[in-house]
Amino acid sequence: MLFDSHAHLDDGRFDKDRDQIINNAKKNNIKYIMNPGANLKTSVRAIEISQKYDIVYAAVGVHPHDVKEMDDVTLELLESLAKKPKVMAIGEIGLDFYYDHSPRDCQREWFRKQIQLAHRVNLPIIVHDRDANDETLKILKEEKAFQAGVVMHCYSGSEELAKQYIRLGAYISIAGPVTYSNARKIVEVVKGIPLESIFIETDSPYLTPIPNRGKRNEPAYIIQVAEKIAEIKKIDFDEVVLKTTENAKKFFGIK
């Protein structure tokens, strides 16, 4: 039983065949899919999808790209959404200093406020960090986020930083880029960290793994990520499936 810990099934690219995508996932032994929000609209949509499909769960939050639109009313609405059935996390939230679609001070402010929200509703957080390693870690520490629970989504940092996160109690989520021919850094991360600290994800419809790169990504392709981790760590595929699913179920509080 596989757990795709991060898939944007609310994306418009799935509107015409979402039922088929879910069926594909089930045929490939995917038992759980986490659909995080990126803003208020997609958070609501994630909840709606989780209510329709038994294998889908939701997270609510505002991505750093969209926090420029946030205000206190948005935060209050997120808090009420966080109490809905099958909402298991706050996310995806964090910092993105690569695109800077929202001003950096704005990103910092709403990252902190959404971590504080996670504490209030007693949910873990799904963290987006792009080109903001130092500040992301600093804010997570200052806001005591590790007490709530942290997973570093689609991890792209160093092995040393990953180990620092693991010492603090966080999980590291590995996505499709681990299968790419130029993926030296993330391969070293997978080699160097314990399976007990790893999630797997597709980040559908983005970051499609080999051999389907160039196509729209979907949860069924999570198998390629698990196979690559097994190859890198020289362990059995079933061991990767069992442990990463167990890790994510525990983190999200899914029985």
CA angle 174, 219, 123 (to 5 degrees): 65
Rounded distance between C-alpha atoms, residue 200 and residue 207, angstroms: 13
Q: What is the largest CA-CA distance in the chain?
A: 50
User: What does 92-110 look like in DSSP terms, one character per residue?
Assistant: EEEEETTT-SS-HHHHHHH
Rounded distance between C-alpha atoms, residue 97 and residue 87, angstroms: 28
Q: Is 145 helix (H, G, I), strand (E, B) or coil?
A: helix
CA angle 11, 4, 26 (to 5 degrees): 90
Query: In the numeric block, which tokens belong to residue 231?
Result: 């190859």
In angstroms and rounded to an integer, the radius of gyration of the C-alpha atoms of the chain is 17
What is the chain's mean pLDDT, rounded? Answer: 97
- Axis crossing angle, helix 104-121 with helix 133-142, rounded to the nearest 10: 40
* pLDDT at residue 248, rounded to an integer: 98
Note the pLDDT tens digit of each residue in 35-56: 999 999 999 999 999 999 999 9
51-63 mean pLDDT:
98
Across the beta sheet with 56-60, the strand order is 2-4, 30-36, 56-60, 87-96, 125-130, 150-152, 171-174, 198-200
Eight-state DSSP code of residue 201? -
* pLDDT at residue 44, rounded to an integer: 98
Rounded distance between C-alpha atoms, residue 156 and residue 201, angstroms: 13
Query: In the numeric block, which tokens belong to residue 125?
Result: 């957080």
Contact between 151 and 127 under an 8 Å Cβ cutoff? The reply is yes
147-157 mean pLDDT:
97
Task: Give the bridge partners for 150, in sequence order.
Answer: 125
Note the pLDDT tens digit of each residue in 170-219: 999 999 999 999 999 999 999 999 999 999 999 999 999 999 999 999 99
Check whether domain 2-252 has CATH 3.20.20.140, yes or no: yes
Q: What is the pTM of this model?
A: 0.97
**H or E element, residue 191:** helix 184-192
**H or E element, residue 129:** strand 125-130
Contact between 190 and 164 under an 8 Å Cβ cutoff? The reply is no
